[in-house]
Amino acid sequence: MAKKPAILFLCTGNSARSQMAEAFARYYGGDALILQSAGTHPVGVHPNAIWAMNEVGLDISHHTSDLLSSKNLEDFDYVVTLCGEAQESCPVLPPTTHQEHWPLPDPTKIRGNASQVMKGFRVIRYQIEHRVRDLLRRISG
């Protein structure tokens, strides 16, 4: 039996972007993948990320915000960084690990009224979903 590809989604706070990416990968990839997310400085799952994912039928309210150092990077075939700080903080990866960088704005930093903030979360959510689907297509080759 072939080894399941393992993907780690990495962000600073592990509160929004990496959580959404993990959820979409789990939805589209199912049991064919090993999926985790982590943060260089985890701060908990952001309530607006939970709301934005619930809006598309995915519940991430049970997700935890994990510290990068709690992960064994040798276990992952792919590490996807979703912000510049995570990319810069990412330790040296094993030579067999593929790294991708998705430089997406942090939706938790969006300011404005509730409608503007949620619109920003939706835009980032859509971009993450598109990139996750593309990644999974390339992995399944």
Active site residues: 11, 83, 90
| Nearest by Cα to 43 from 108, 121, 115, 116 | 108
CB 103 within 8 A of CB 124: no
Beta strand extents in the chain (DSSP E only)? 6-11, 34-39, 78-81, 98-101
CB 8 within 8 A of CB 53: no
